[in-house]
Amino acid sequence: MKIRASAEDYLEAILVIGKGKNNVRAVDIVKHTGYARASISIALKQLKESGCIEVDNNHSITLTDKGAQVAKRTYRRHLLIGNFLIALGVDEKTAFADACKLEHVISESSFECLNSYYQQNFAPANEKNHPQAGGGINL
Amino acid sequence: MKIRASAEDYLEAILVIGKGKNNVRAVDIVKHTGYARASISIALKQLKESGCIEVDNNHSITLTDKGAQVAKRTYRRHLLIGNFLIALGVDEKTAFADACKLEHVISESSFECLNSYYQQNFAPANEKNHPQAGGGINL
DNA sequence: TTTGTTAGTTAGTGTCAACTAACAAATAAT
DNA sequence: ATTATTTGTTAGTTGACACTAACTAACAAA
């Protein structure tokens, strides 16, 4: 199964939710994303089939290595693109709302250029120790 | 009818093709975009119904005011985002391929911030006289 | 004039990603 | 213990956006 935009979103959500609590369940993703219960259920089924997550008897969801890789990549993009836009003067809410969409379509090489530019021109000295800044928004 | 990503692309294509020849027809869009003839035919029908284009008896396509507005907005985004990425070190081909996708999802306010930053930090003095630079790629 | 090509259309299909409605199972409240 | 709520699942639907196959109409060529 190909990793699509929506799968990236769900995996990212699981990662972020997991930072705040140690037991991620489907409802948490429902609350976090605003999608219908059924939509999440179906998406999780696919993520399970594609080996991105595991679900135990208590419906507790964990990312596999494969899933975590995608989630982290997406989350990293989310943060960087969001912070980049903020550095350009975009308000935080809009910046992360846009990041949410941009993160799925920007190419690897463009992202790396964005990253380099950000590190050289915008990065606050302490940021690499606080990569979660602004990350709670709208993932 | 809501303006969707694909409609923006088609209108942009019509605008760009129209810069090079004075009679835009469906075939031209087929060649320009690579989509199937049938797909273009259906898309044009919708664009007609939504008042974005007009088609005369010779199948010649013209943008209405409404259509031209969308096309220009999209094209402007395409050029700026592409050039912005190039300024960041992305190769031209990738930059405009990415611009093609980003142009549909970035918000108005983020785009304007991108634009301001570009004008202040990257814009070559003569660029505003050559806004078509790189614009022929992959619209 | 029959044949072939080009242009446009229509009908039907497929995929992705969301939805609602209805049902089942587990948990909490009374 | 019965009822209500929460959680998860399944079935079926919708909308956007592409596709192929098959058709028509116009035109060119042999």
- The answer to whether B118 and B82 have CB atoms below 8 angstroms apart is no
The per-residue pLDDT for range B119-134, each reduced to its tens digit, is: 999 987 765 545 554 4
Measured between beta carbons, the chain A residues lying within 8 angstroms of B85 are 110, 113
- What is the per-residue pLDDT for B4? 84
- What is the per-residue pLDDT for A5? 81
- What is the per-residue pLDDT for A4? 78
Right CATH for A74-129 from 3.40.50, 1.10.357, 3.30.230, 1.10.60: 1.10.60
* For residue B136, pLDDT beyond 50: no
- The answer to whether B86 and B92 have CB atoms below 8 angstroms apart is yes
Task: Provide the whole-model pTM.
Answer: 0.86
The per-residue pLDDT for range A46-66, each reduced to its tens digit, is: 999 999 999 998 999 999 999
List chain B domain ranges: 5-64, 70-129
Written as one letter, the residue type at B109 is S
Domain covering B70-129 in this structure, CATH number: 1.10.60.10
| Ranges of chain A with pLDDT below 70 | 1-3, 125-139
Radius of gyration of chain B, Cα coordinates, nearest whole angstrom: 15
- Interface-testing mutation among A98, A110, A112, A118, with chain B (most B C-beta atoms within 10 A): A110
The per-residue pLDDT for range B49-74, each reduced to its tens digit, is: 999 999 998 999 999 999 999 999 99
| H-type alpha helices, chain B | 5-20, 26-33, 37-49, 65-87, 92-105, 108-121
- What is the per-residue pLDDT for B10? 97
Measured between beta carbons, the chain B residues lying within 8 angstroms of A94 are 107, 109-110
Torsion angles phi and psi, residue A91, rounded to 5: -70, 150
Q: Tell me, which fold does domain B5-64 have in CATH?
A: Arc Repressor Mutant, subunit A (1.10.10)
The H or E element that residue A120 is part of is helix A108-121
- What is the per-residue pLDDT for B124? 78
- The answer to whether B62 and B53 have CB atoms below 8 angstroms apart is yes
For residues B26 and B39, give the distance between their C-alpha atoms in angstroms, rounded to a whole number. Answer: 10
What lies within 8 Å, CB to CB, of A68 at 6+ separation is A11, A15
Q: Tell me, which fold does domain A5-69 have in CATH?
A: Arc Repressor Mutant, subunit A (1.10.10)
Q: For residue A63, give the nearest of A29, A103, A98 by alpha carbon.
A: A29
- What is the per-residue pLDDT for A28? 96
Does residue A105 lie within 7 Å of nucleic acid chain C, judged by its CB?
A: no
